[in-house]
Amino acid sequence: MKTRHPYFETQLSNGVQVIAERFENVQSASIGFFIKSGVLYELTQHLGISHFIEHMLFKGTKKRSAKDIARQFDRMLLPQRITPVSTQG
């Protein structure tokens, strides 16, 4: 039987939906981003592109490893003052 945890749900002014869940015995935090994308949201001429991009992100390509791709996304999307997780360790 699954234990249900209390959660909080709201929507930001920019339309982003936020859902938070609290676990009493956990002393850490995690965050996930869920984007309304994929086959249900793709135009006919783009069917499969979300799945292809997903595999590139966690498997890499012939020329770029998954870590290289993560670093490139970090450079494009994160402010310069933040040290991206993909470059630590």
Is residue 54 among the annotated active site residues? yes
Q: Which helix (H) or strand (E) holds 52?
A: helix 49-59
Q: Which of 9, 21, 24, 54 is catalytic?
A: 54
Strands of the chain, DSSP E: 7-11, 17-21
Phi and psi angles of residue 74, each rounded to the nearest 5 degrees, phi first: -60, -45
Q: How many helices (H) and strands (E) does the chain have?
A: 2, 2
Catalytic machinery residues: 54
